[in-house]
Amino acid sequence: MAEMTSAERVMAVLRREEPDRIPHFEWIIDTKVRQAICPGCSTEEFTVRMGLDAMLTSPDFKSEQVAPHRFKNEWGIVVEKGEEQHSTVVEPVIKTPEDFKGYQPPDPHAPHRWDSLKRLVARYKGQYAIGVHLNDVMSIPRNLMGFQELMMAFCLEPELVRDLVEMSVDLNIELAKEAARHGADFVFTGDDYSASDAPFMSPDTFRDLMYPGLKRVFAGFRAQGLPIIKHTDGNVMPLLDMILDAGIDCLDPIDPLGHMDIGRMKRDYSDQIALKGNVNCATTLVSGTVSDVVNETLDVIKAAAHGGGLIISSSNSIHSSVNPANYLAMINTIKAYGKYPINLDFDGSGAGDAFT
């Protein structure tokens, strides 16, 4: 097969087609890990130098520092930045239905909102797949209320939850229109629905309060010609029929800590969705040997690469505790063994020796 560009490779996978090789990219690569592998590299330069397949960005929301490590963003939310790349909400803004009535979300069409996307498109369109992080039905309500308060509102204030979900849907459809207009190739949503053993809410509650909005927001993304990679950790099997029916193109990360089996997912759902995952970033990439990483990456290839429709990545992100040598071993294994036609007619023993 002729060599594809990274953009062609990722988009072929999202169509559940077989590319020239299995693509790889991560939602988050911690600065410490990135600098250990490629000193001085920005995320963008790391993507280029390491041969990853997607340039990722998000709408630009301004923030101002209000205390050490704390920032207030355009949503009015105060977040705290710790050791990890993502921030933690420490001061939500909506506690009651009355708070919601007076609330105005950020303008999706603000002039500065798409500066980062426009820069990536100008430099990399057609070379790398350009993905934009938007939201669907969970993260914005959670951030505006706080996680515990939202969980209580499922029972005590269901109409407030519906209002927050509808606001999130309306806003993200408008954001998707702008993302498509400025040249994005796909969207990914990071709204988590589940813990390791079960979803945060019952399937009946999800069907009542979240599922209608989920269908509407994904229909809005698809109307703009944007394929959808849906991220949600944990055990999502009780919700999977609704997630699939809402119309995604790819599911991530097929969390092994959530008892999600990528081989089973490939067998049962490859006619509906592509898959992204799932080398274990809680154990193998943190404390395993290089050989452990190589063998687990090979296991993912064996289980889910046939016929295409697979992006290999970690089971969540490359967080600060990931061993840089292990992440590098995963990248090298994908490059060495992920070329189509896939040929893994060996027992795998000693495969890790090439990466030590």
Q: What is the pLDDT of residue 279?
A: 98
Q: What is the pLDDT of residue 32?
A: 96
Cis peptide before 280 (omega within 30 of 0): no
Classified as helix, coil or strand, 276 is strand
pLDDT tens profile 185-196: 999 999 999 999
Residues with Cβ within 8 Å of 80's Cβ and at least 6 positions away in sequence, in order, are 69, 70, 71, 87, 88, 90
Q: What is the pLDDT of residue 42?
A: 96
Residues with Cβ within 8 Å of 165's Cβ and at least 6 positions away in sequence, in order, are 137, 141, 209, 210, 213
Q: What is the pLDDT of residue 348?
A: 55
Q: What is the pLDDT of residue 87?
A: 82
Strand partners, 229: 188, 250
What domains can be seen in the chain, in order of their start residue?
Answer: 6-61+93-343 (3.20.20.210)
Question: Which parts of the chain sit beneath pLDDT 70?
Answer: 346-356
Give the DSSP H or E segment for 129: strand 129-134
- Measure the CA–CA gap between 353 and 333, rounded to whole angstroms: 11
DSSP state of 236: -
Q: What is the pLDDT of residue 83?
A: 75
Q: What is the pLDDT of residue 350?
A: 57
Which sign, positive or negative, has the C-alpha torsion 314, 318, 320, 322?
positive
Q: Read out DSSP for 77-106?
A: -EEEE-SSSSEEEEE-S--SHHHHHT--PP
Enter the pTM of the model.
0.95
Q: What is the pLDDT of residue 178?
A: 98
> Which of 192, 186, 303, 200 lies closest to 248 in space, CA to CA?
186
Strand partners, 310: 275
Residues with Cβ within 8 Å of 149's Cβ and at least 6 positions away in sequence, in order, are 92, 95
- Measure the CA–CA gap between 339 and 136, rounded to whole angstroms: 34
